């Protein structure tokens, strides 16, 4: 289910963020989706068999998830203006490289045996395996906590529906920290042989895992979705203003035909924003030209002011 959710997120981001230069969030979604897909038994078993049947697939999936979480944190940090030193360290490449190197060293020291789809349940009694898991989830916990700090500030700066993405990221970060704590407790309990504690705490693992990725996905998809809605809403308003202003523009350009080089076909092909700007400028030119008698009504002037405010990104009440 998590793998499917992540691939849906990838497709959504490809649609909603296709024109944006910053791709950290997309990279995060793709790498996390790959990691989640490798955790599906039907995928993992043949992949690990191709890699020699020594659970190398587990290392690849876990490393991909760490890289995905890294890109996720970087993308959220880049979208904000809140970059305190602890956040920059937690979400920095040095922290990732140290965590990945430690993960590989711990993995090499594990007596891995043959392919297993229950890696930590089967091998978690080994100290190297316990450290392998602790390294992963300590890194996850640190990164999502830093993400939560960034999202908290974004939440405070926003109002209304625009708080939903940041709020979802905060909730996802809280669940992520709890998930990391639960897994670390399970690892320690397994290592010391307290299987009752491991099983008892482990009951929270599946719901926390699902809730973490669910709310993080909502937060990740929410911001580009709101931006997409804003763009569509602005385009609709621009077209409506163009339609309303065109009669006034035609009247203005009829009075000043020598100053306007009007190619009707080219004008129709202009995007609405450019066309609205053209209309506003040429109407204003006609209004200030003392050689022509062009005096719009008060309603026309109000409409012109609305169009100017729209182009500047503000509203006229």
Question: What tens digit of pLDDT does each residue of 66-114 get?
Answer: 999 999 888 888 776 667 888 889 989 999 999 999 999 999 999 988 8
Whole-angstrom distance, CA of residue 289 vs CA of residue 300: 17
Q: What is the reported pLDDT for 3?
A: 78
Q: What is the reported pLDDT for 263?
A: 53
Which of 16-20, 93-97, 185-189 shows the lowest mean pLDDT across its residues? 16-20
CA 29 to chain centre: 8
DSSP letter at 189 equals H
Q: What is the reported pLDDT for 64?
A: 94
Whole-angstrom distance, CA of residue 267 vs CA of residue 250: 13
Query: Is residue 179 within 8 Å of 145, Cβ to Cβ?
Result: no
- Cβ burial of 61 (10 Å; 0-12, 13-18, 19+) is buried
Q: What is the reported pLDDT for 29?
A: 84
pTM, two decimal places: 0.74
C-alpha distance across the termini of the chain, in Å: 48
Query: Is residue 199 within 8 Å of 152, Cβ to Cβ?
Result: no
List Cβ neighbours of 127 (8 Å cut-off, separation of 6 or more). 191
313 φ, ψ (degrees, to nearest 5): 85, 20
Name the 3-class secondary structure at 126.
coil
250 φ, ψ (degrees, to nearest 5): -60, -40
Q: Please indicate whether residue 256 or residue 253 has the higher confidence score (pLDDT).
A: 253
Q: What is the reported pLDDT for 257?
A: 63
Average pLDDT over residues 151-168: 86
Name the 3-class secondary structure at 316.
coil
Can you list the alpha helix ranges (DSSP code H) found in the chain? Answer: 2-16, 24-38, 41-50, 56-78, 85-90, 93-108, 119-123, 127-157, 163-192, 195-202, 205-255, 264-269, 272-288, 298-312
> Taking 90 as the threshold, does the pLDDT of residue 313 lie above it?
no
What does the mean pLDDT of the chain come to? 86
Sign of the C-alpha dihedral computed for residues 103, 108, 111 and 113 taken in this order: positive
By C-alpha distance, which of 97, 180, 88 is closest to 136?
180
> Taking 60 as the threshold, does the pLDDT of residue 259 lie above it?
no
> Taking 60 as the threshold, does the pLDDT of residue 317 lie above it?
no
Q: What is the pLDDT of residues 29-51, one digit of tens each?
A: 889 899 999 989 999 999 999 99
Query: Is residue 189 within 8 Å of 208, Cβ to Cβ?
Result: no
Q: What is the reported pLDDT for 265?
A: 47
Average pLDDT over residues 263-272: 60
Query: Is residue 165 within 8 Å of 226, Cβ to Cβ?
Result: yes
Token duo for residue 76: 């959220």
């Amino acid at each position: 289910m998590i793998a499917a959710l992540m691939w849906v997120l990838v497709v959504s981001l490809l649609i909603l963020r296709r024109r944006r230069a910053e791709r950290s969030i997309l990279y995060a979604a793709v790498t996390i989706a790959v990691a989640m897909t490798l955790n599906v038994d039907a995928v993992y078993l043949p992949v690990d068999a191709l890699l020699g049947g020594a659970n190398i697939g587990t290392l690849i999936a876990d490393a991909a998830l760490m890289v995905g979480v890294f890109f996720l944190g970087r993308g959220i940090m880049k979208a904000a203006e809140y970059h305190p030193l602890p956040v920059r360290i937690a979400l920095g490449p040095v922290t990732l490289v140290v965590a990945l190197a430690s993960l590989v060293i711990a993995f090499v020291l594990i007596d891995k045996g043959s392919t297993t789809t229950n890696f930590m349940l089967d091998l978690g009694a080994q100290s190297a395996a316990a450290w392998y898991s602790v390294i992963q989830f300590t890194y996850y916990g640190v990164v999502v906590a830093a993400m939560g700090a960034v999202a908290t500030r974004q939440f405070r700066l926003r109002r209304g529906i625009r708080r939903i993405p940041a709020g979802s990221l905060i909730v996802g970060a809280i669940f992520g920290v709890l998930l990391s704590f639960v897994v670390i407790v399970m690892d320690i309990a397994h290592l010391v042989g307290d299987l009752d504690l491991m099983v008892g705490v482990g009951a929270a693992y599946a719901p926390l895992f699902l809730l973490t990725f669910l709310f993080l996905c909502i937060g990740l998809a929410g911001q580009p979705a709101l931006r997409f809605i804003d763009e569509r809403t602005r385009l609709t308003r621009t077209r409506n203003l163009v339609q309303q202003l065109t009669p006034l523009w035609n009247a203005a350009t009829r009075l000043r035909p020598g100053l306007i080089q009007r190619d009707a076909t080219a004008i129709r092909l202009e995007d609405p924003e450019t066309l609205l700007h053209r209309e506003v400028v040429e109407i204003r030119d006609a209004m200030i030209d003392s050689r022509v008698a062009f005096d719009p009504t008060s309603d026309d002037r109000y409409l012109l002011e609305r169009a100017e405010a729209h182009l500047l990104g503000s509203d006229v009440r």
